[in-house]
Amino acid sequence: MNIQKVIDSHHELMRLSDAPLTIISEVLWVFVGLIFIVHLVKDRKSFSHSGFMYRGIYFLVILTIISYLSITLNSYDFAMDENEWRENYFKPYIQSLPEQKLEVEEFSQVIKEDDTQIESHYLNKKTESILLKLTVVNQTGFKKKELIETTIVKEAIEQPYLTYKTIERDISDQFNKEAFYETTLHIPNDYKVLTSAK
């Protein structure tokens, strides 16, 4: 699955939000067209030749608008909803991405959210993440403090590390390349984790 397919399918999904307005518009234009036909049939003897031509042009404009709205409605994929998009496009794409890894020197839970935090998205919408302040070390040895939404997993390891995935291009405002995906902090089994009461 490539990123362009995911972006295109998401745009199609977002287009569905215009469908109710398109349906209402088409119904109104059909109503206007019917009134115009009744007017043409009822008053056809009182029209001059040029008046009849003008009304014919107006009628063609109304038919063109109705045709355009019908074609637009026909192009919507009403079978797709957000859950289907997530399952058939987003999930396979995220699963195909390589996992990135950062060493973690220290971490602590943060209660207050911040504008600088790195947002995390998960394939399972029910996944609950917590906000942590992490001191991470990249491959070059550079240390950096980051606020990251993550889940925590205990494992038989010596040193904590963070795994995550990133996307190469923005899919939408929500799913962008600044966010992390499937973010997990892996910690040694002997670490004690205190979670805040909700």
Residue 13 in any domain: the answer is yes
Give the three-state DSSP class for 99.
Answer: coil
Please state, as a whole number, how many other Cβ atoms lie within 10 Å of the Cβ of residue 187.
20
Q: Which of 80-94, 97-111, 138-152 has the lowest mean pLDDT?
A: 138-152
In sequence order, the 6+-apart residues with CB closer than 8 A to the CB of 48 are: none
Q: Which of 67-71, 89-93, 131-135 has the lowest mean pLDDT?
A: 131-135
Please state, as a whole number, how many other Cβ atoms lie within 10 Å of the Cβ of residue 82.
13
In the predicted model, is pLDDT for residue 196 greater than 60?
no
Give the three-state DSSP class for 87.
Answer: helix
Contact 173, 157 (CB under 8 A): no
In the predicted model, is pLDDT for residue 14 greater than 90?
no
Domain that holds residue 58: 3-75
The residue-averaged pLDDT of 94-102 equals: 91
**For residue 106, which of 146, 151, 59 has the smallest C-alpha distance?**
146
Model confidence band, residue 24 (pLDDT cutoffs 50, 70, 90): very high
Q: Torsion angle, CA of 131/136/157/101, rounded to 10 degrees?
A: 90
The residue-averaged pLDDT of 66-90 equals: 85
Residue 149 in any domain: the answer is yes
Residue 152 bridge partners (DSSP): 185
Query: What pLDDT does 65 receive?
Result: 93
The residue-averaged pLDDT of 47-59 equals: 80
Q: What pTM, to 2 d.p., does this model score?
A: 0.70
Residue 88 in any domain: the answer is no
For CA atoms 22, 25, 31, 33, the dihedral sign is negative
State whether 51 and 120 are in the same domain.
no
Domain stops at, among 44, 75, 106: 75
The residue-averaged pLDDT of 24-52 equals: 84
Residue 83 in any domain: the answer is no
Residue 18 in any domain: the answer is yes
Model confidence band, residue 193 (pLDDT cutoffs 50, 70, 90): low
Query: What pLDDT does 194 receive?
Result: 57
Work out the percent of the chain whose per-residue pLDDT is above 70.
96
- Rounded to whole angstroms, the Cα distance separating 179 from 107 reads 19
Contact 104, 127 (CB under 8 A): no
State whether 71 and 104 are in the same domain.
no
Residue 43 in any domain: the answer is yes
- Rounded to whole angstroms, the Cα distance separating 106 from 161 reads 10
Per the structure, the count of domains in the chain is 2
